[in-house]
A and B are shown apart, each in its own frame.
Chain A
Amino acid sequence: MTNLKSQISNFRFQIVLVVLTIAVLIVPVPLTWAAPQERHFRIEASRYQYMPSIIHVNLGDKVTIDLTSNDVVHGLYVDDYALNITADPGQTSRLTFVADKPGTFALRCSAPCGPVHPFMVGKLNIGPNWLLWRAIGAASVAAFAGLWVFKRGR
């Protein structure tokens, strides 16, 4: 009887942990977004980095990027937005778009610029990086849930 009670108690605990982990991952966060505004960035590209390499904007902002190359031809491809520009050495190319998808997006060089070209990346953060924070929260719950829930022989 005691064993059965213990099993039921453990099962309830497992359910609570699973629900908690899922909640951390998917429950919407009530936030007031900043009013959209126009943002202008000048990004200098040189082998094998963008300066600045990470840019932050808010959801809904109208973003303009002026890409300038300091050495060879470089490109800038925005993941998921599928936007692409290239800049010749010493020249500037402009890209304008509305940041209407939240999240973190890789900026990739789209013009072969040298041996390390495939690894030339930057980051565009649109709004808070909730995926990261939720993942850290879920990892914290999940790590210790695994310790308690899955004991030997279960």
Chain B
Amino acid sequence: MHLELTKVPWLKRLLVSRWPLFLLRAATLAGFVLTVVAGLAGSPVGSHNFAIIFVWVAWWTFLKLIAIPLGGRAWCSVCPIPVMGEWMQQGALVEPGGRGLGLGRPWPKRLRNIWLPTGVFAVIGLFSAVILAQPRVTGWVLLGLIALAVVLGLVFERRAFCRYVCPIGGFIGLYSRVAPVEVRVRDRAVCATHQEKTCVTGNAQGYGCPWQAVPLALTQNTNCGLCMECLRSCPRDNIAVNVRSFGADLAQRAGRSLDQAYFGFMMLGSVLIYSTVMLGAWGNLKTAAYNVGTPAWFIYSAVLLAFTLGVLPGLFLLAVCAGRTLAGSKVPLKRTFIAQSHAIIPLGLMAWIAFTISFAFAKSSYVWPVLSDPFGWGWNLFGTAQWPWTPHLSSVTLLLQVLALLGGLVWTSIWVRRIAQEELPERSAARQSLPIMLYCLLFTIGMLWLLVG
């Protein structure tokens, strides 16, 4: 399936215009400021504080259930965190042409990967129970992220923070590969004859790609922030925004790398650990995750890191080794490991969706009271402050989670086989796939037991 949205004239005008994006960014920035103020100055009770409910219930649910699966990096295009740094860098709010600030240094070559976001995500994961539970900590973390984005924006060129540091950006980038939206060039030959490459360098109509991507070379969504700058700056009208099949990027062999593979395992391990700690019935685990600095917390941290960065990839490596032996494959182990680890991206995404469903409906009724009383100070702006907490859709929650996990498993099984067949004949590919699917099945059973058991 392939449908070019930019062939629809009014849609193209909307995408090229800077105003819709500016207004959306201004709105998310205003929401961000409110969130930080609520977090730092509002009620310490999480369920009565806008920061906790809007970030960890409303935004998280929107991101996981809608924005990433349907829009890939669409959130990144309106994310408030890099906005101020980018405005300073560009010296303009809307149209290009301002005299920007900043040193514009290139991002260090050694860090041009997503090992750093993997590390930042791991560190945030260690403190996740505190961040999720305490508005003040959420406020400080958000403030820290925006400060870091501004500083990096002033030192390094373009959106280095988004591409190489932001842990949420890493998360979104990984799963944006399966989203059904993409920005691609229409005709590579047209780009080849265009010497100026204004999509990279920028011109009066648009900035050079803020994500430091080269649209001609784009084969997957990971590094495309859907900001539409290339659509504006291309003088040959050679950029298209397409709707495509889900998961189309997984067929792309270029761009598969060990850092991406490890981020995938970090995600897979995190969702298992979070499901155990936050959704399980074991109070001691919750207390251990919450009480930072205690011996129990150090044990929890060690288990989280060992499981996500050691045990899960280690078991996957064993599965890949067993598969290669069964198939008699001569393809290098590292190449097979990296390639097959990309097949489990759908499983990871659907596991996060299943995890999110478990609290999205149960906690959504907290949203209305905090809209009326964002700081927990006793306001009642819209008359909803006293609306009671009531879990919604609890009769179908478990079924939706089961369907999400089963869907993820089938989706992954398709890609495990397809990726194996890139380098092996049909029968050998099937043999290689068996242990990997057993791994995926065991992961799914683990998630089912945690969410539905």
Measuring CB to CB, which residues of chain A are less than 8 angstroms from any residue of chain B? 46-50, 53-54, 77, 79-80, 82, 103-106, 108, 110, 112, 115-123, 129, 131-132, 135-136, 138-140, 142-148, 150-152
Contacts and interface: CB of A to CB of B under 8 A. Distances in A.
A123 B452 contact: no
A53 B281 contact: yes
B82 to A, nearest CB: 29
8 contacts: A115-B44, A115-B290, A121-B281, A131-B402, A139-B406, A144-B437, A146-B409, A147-B430
Interface in B115-159: 129-130, 132-134
B46 A118 contact: yes
Contact of B409 (A50, A103, A129, A142): A142
Interface stretch (B95-103, B223-231, B442-450): B442-450
Contact of A119 (B286, B409, B414): B286
B287 A47 contact: yes
Contact of A80 (B394, B406, B444): B394
Contacts of B418: 150-152
Interface of B: 44-48, 129-130, 132-134, 277-284, 286-287, 290, 359, 362-363, 389-391, 394-395, 397-399, 402, 405-406, 409-414, 416-418, 421, 426, 430, 433-434, 437, 440-441, 444-445, 448-449, 452-453
A48 B291 CA distance: 12
B413 A122 contact: no
A23 to B, nearest CB: 14
Contact of B444 (A112, A123, A143): A143
B402 A135 contact: yes
A79 B390 CA distance: 9
A147 B343 CA distance: 12
Given A110-B389, A140-B441, A147-B434, A79 B417 contact: no
Best-buried of A103, A104, A119 by chain B (most CB within 10 Å): A119
Nearest to A21: B406
Given A49-B284, A146-B437, 12 more contacts: A53-B281, A112-B45, A115-B46, A116-B286, A118-B363, A119-B133, A142-B410, A143-B409, A143-B441, A150-B414, A150-B417, A150-B418
Q: Top 3 nearest A-B pairs by Cβ distance?
A: A49-B283, A146-B413, A53-B281
A108 B363 CA distance: 11
A103 B363 contact: no
Given A115-B133, A147-B430, A129 B453 contact: yes
Contacts of A119: 129, 133, 277-279, 286
B283 A46 contact: yes
A103 B279 CA distance: 17
A112 B366 CA distance: 12
Contact of A48 (B47, B287, B445): B287
Best-buried of A121, A123, A129, A143 by chain B (most CB within 10 Å): A143
Contacts of B48: 112
Nearest to B421: A152
A146 B410 contact: yes
Given A123-B281, A132-B448, A139-B444, A147 B413 contact: yes
Nearest to B390: A82
A142 B416 contact: no
Contacts of B284: 49
Nearest to B57: A118
A49 B282 contact: yes
A47 B280 CA distance: 14
Contacts of A144: 413, 434, 437
